[in-house]
Structure 1
Amino acid sequence: MSENEKVINFMRVRHLAGVFSLLLILGSIVSLAVNGLQFGLDFTGGTQIEVGYEKPADLNQVRSQLTSAGYEGAVVVYFGAETDVLIRLQRGFDPGLGEEILAALNRDAAQPVQLRRIEFVGPQVGEELRDDGGLGMLFALLVVMLYVAMRFQYKFSVGAVVALIHDVILVLGLFSVLRLDFDLTVLAAVLAVIGYSLNDTIVVADRIRENFRKLRTETPLEVVNISLTQTLGRTLITGLTTMLVLFALYYFGGETIHGFSIALLFGVLIGTYSSIYVSSYVLLLLDISKEDLMLPVKEGQELDDTP
């Protein structure tokens, strides 16, 4: 950097950020252990019923009607248009369940309700999806660690994986604390968070590696601060534009993707934070140095370079 450019001392609060992240992780793990995740029908199995209205339906009224009829805990969301409503129940297969729901909704209803379809998701299918999703996430983390270790150095791979684990645990913790429905769309969002956070972390790591080789007199702490300052503009622009799109998805995309939007919104925010304060902090804890990133010297090169 030129002398006129101000370097932001990000790592001045690295210990405070580390304690903050540790507390968030511990809180998330405790919530996951006590509350668990509120798995959707994709994982637990159950019945989903689509009904149609002539005019836009009032979801609160639909929930109230179902609760009065004894169907507590039903998930009621719009399915595309506001005249189409999707009802999810964690109940086993019952051939007459659709007619019972239809009768409950038509009772004292201001407009007629039509049954569009009824589907049953078996618990065995849900269990397989849950296991496959977890294995897929672990495989993704393993591949990330190998890729970063091969492209940079093993200390960078440790920092990247710690940051990714940090992001995943916090997203899962958010859904556990708020008791939000965790379905396959949310799992897809968690995997997307891994990709976003990894991309941001690699950009920072690439600049740190470049500056370690270019800057000769700066300490590792100064090199990290310079690298983070140089990539700050790109990080903020990418994060803000992504969050603008996700806000639009949340407000205009319908309730069926609310969980997906919330997971990505929180994940992008946490991923931006972790690429600055988690992965870089881990590098300093591992005593990253210029020697770790020195290019191999070819035989005879030193003789050629001497004046």
Structure 2
Amino acid sequence: MASADPTDLPVLVERDDVEAVTTVRLNRPDSRNALTVELKVALRDALQEVAEDDSVRAVILASSGPAFCVGQDLREHAESLRSESTPGGSLDTVTEHYNPIAAALAGMPKPVVASITGTTVGAGLGFVLACDLRVAAAGTKFATAFSGIGFGGDSGLSATLAHCVGASRATDLLMLGDTFTAEEARDWGIVREVAADAEATEAAALALGRRLAAGPTVAYAEIKKAVALGTVSQLGEVLAHEAQAQVKLGATQDHRDAVEAFLAKEKPTFHGR
């Protein structure tokens, strides 16, 4: 029996062990990476795997094909709605898949860069907003899309979008569902760079991932925690957290080596410990 073609998997994990960067790629290009249960389970498990792998120092979330992700596969969802005896049972996917995926991206103990190379709506938008940094291809269109099918947001979008663009604009985008461009996303602070096309976007994201992988990844993890805390907490709580983090980071080899390199007027080398 012929073995399965690995490129047919719903999620591809592409490792660059030399640069310590791993790309997790949505891989249903013919369906514009619409989110089936199979894809969601594979993505959730892949993210957990790279989170636990200490050899991975930066992660890129990418996709195959002309769309990044159009959100939930509504054909599969409609079949579930028609067949279930208890209304709402199909929405268990929020707690089983969407929430863990968003939490894995946001809580990843290493930097995550989203390489956005096409239409990104619904949970797809939620996933990229759960990443730390984002690069988008020119021509990419974004939308929340949820209200168009009688839903509110999921995948953390209600919080992450508001943190990026403010509560007023987030409410507008969630209620009205209007599309916005990569250039608007850049101007609003959602993406850091708009590249010329998909190829340039992937190259820019990889360069950014390599830069981050060569940096103080233990410090990056603490920065992620502090920024997340700072969006929901009072200043006193953030100050206490920062103090604890600095004590922890002050004991790392990365910090000690970087201080010595600074005094010697040399470029520091970080090892993530």
Normalising by structure 2, report the TM-score. Answer: 0.24
Structure with greater Cα Rg: 1
Normalising by structure 1, report the TM-score. Answer: 0.22
